[in-house]
Amino acid sequence: MFQTLKNAWKIKDLQNKLLFTLLIIILYRLGAQIPVPYINSAVIEGLGQQFSGSILGYMDIMAGGALSQATLFALSVSPYITASIIIQLLSVAIPYFEKLSKDGEAGRKKINMWTRYVTIGLALLTSFGYMKLLDSYGYLVEGANWFAKLVIVASYCAGASLVMWLAEKINESGIGNGISMILFANIISSGPTLVASLWRIITSSSYPLVVGILLGIVILAIVLAIVVLVVLVTNSERKIPIQYAKRMVGRRMYGGQSSIIPLKVVSVGVLPLIFAYSFMAFPGTIIQLASKPTSGLYQWWMNNMSATSPLYMIVCALLIIAFTYFYSSISFQPDEMAKNIQQQGGAIPSVRPGKPTADYLKRINNRLILFAALFLAVLATLPNIITEAAKVNIPFAASSLLIAVSVALETKRQLDDMLVARNYDTLS
């Protein structure tokens, strides 16, 4: 990875893309430290402990701590991600959006426009609920009137809109996916907090120091195992051999060569995890922000949908599996691939061209999707199961670690593709 960055730095346009992405991330992290008017900063420090172990605690990690600090970018990319989920689901269910998704660049621009509108609507709704939560906990300045509350809602909505704009700028002029890069920066920024949590586990007075050291070693081993496993699976491919027939063009003979089609084992990357957690976080956020702590709905959600509850893990795993199948179905087109192979005079050995080739590719892809879905679901829920079974609070979420590692690998892969496109032949 470092060799790839070194090679990319030698090319001027890639260097500009890297610097632009870094600039956007720096601007985002600065915005995550800007306080919002009429928030009582003297008592806001206790908000993070109240979020611990809940959906809001996970959202705080995804926001890089901005949610528990009630700063300008407290909502982070959550409204944007949820809006993207809604629009993509509508692209399957509603003919108008389905037509837009097939209209090329013009349709993509209209879909992006609708995504922005939905993002602003969700940001308004979430900002209002977040303001009500801060007010109920007494985190607003004393005597805050309707104007103060209006300013708070407008500030958080504007912050979410600005984050959306920053993510889109990374997509246009930077490296990697904008949402993923911002989430990566947020997760990395929480590193010192995770190290401090690990140190508290080691030095806890609940058990002897030797036991604490052993627990720390086990947790570090789990982290290393997850990183190695994610790297191995993410880089794994199922290679489909293609044999091209010989043909005469004029006086020259073409074809007769063989190649492969590499199918990624986890082709969907980290998107199912991001979308599944955002989908889970949205109703929980609305319930926790809009309901009183004494209400029945609030109490049910806190008791049954915590990060370590069986119901939460089951629903989350099912959502990850569903989103994996959904994204694979819209990104992999076996009929189109089989048609292109046939037009180029190629064929898969022992498989007839045309529909049999498409059916073969579809069958192989379905197996890969099943493995990817189960892998992501198990990896996302396993640390929560260990936490609940061993009664040890592991100071990280496997989903966060998975997102960070996957984003780094995807960014490296994109840089490699750009280097290849520029005929740079000293890749690592």
Mean pLDDT of the chain: 79
Range of lowest pLDDT (17-31, 357-371, 389-403):
389-403
Radius of gyration of the chain (CA): 24
Tens of pLDDT, residues 198-246 = 777 777 766 677 877 887 787 788 778 878 888 888 788 888 888 877 6
Cα–Cα distance, 25 to 38 (Å, whole number): 27
Contact predicate 408/177, CB 8 Å: no
What are the residues whose beta carbons fall under 8 Å from the beta carbon of 316, sequence distance 6 or more? 276, 277, 280, 377, 380, 381
Q: What is the mean pLDDT of residues 1-17?
A: 81
Q: What is the mean pLDDT of residues 399-419?
A: 79
Tens of pLDDT, residues 283-341 = 766 676 666 666 777 777 777 776 667 888 888 889 889 888 888 877 778 888 888 88
Tens of pLDDT, residues 348-367 = 888 888 888 888 888 998 89
* pLDDT greater at residue 46 or residue 420: 420
In the prediction, which pLDDT does 307 show?
Answer: 67
In the prediction, which pLDDT does 52 show?
Answer: 58
Cα–Cα distance, 123 to 28 (Å, whole number): 17
| Chain centroid offset of residue 215 CA | 29
Number of Cβ within 10 Å of residue 290's Cβ equals: 17
Structure tokens at 364: 């192989």
Q: What is the mean pLDDT of residues 14-29?
A: 90
In the prediction, which pLDDT does 377 show?
Answer: 87
The proportion of the chain whose per-residue pLDDT surpasses 90, expressed as a percent, equals 9
Tens of pLDDT, residues 89-145 = 787 778 888 788 777 778 888 888 999 999 999 899 888 888 887 887 777 877 778
Residue 427 has pLDDT above 50, yes or no: no
pTM of the full predicted structure? 0.73
In the prediction, which pLDDT does 157 show?
Answer: 92
- Of 118, 84, 126, 117, nearest to 101 by C-alpha is 84
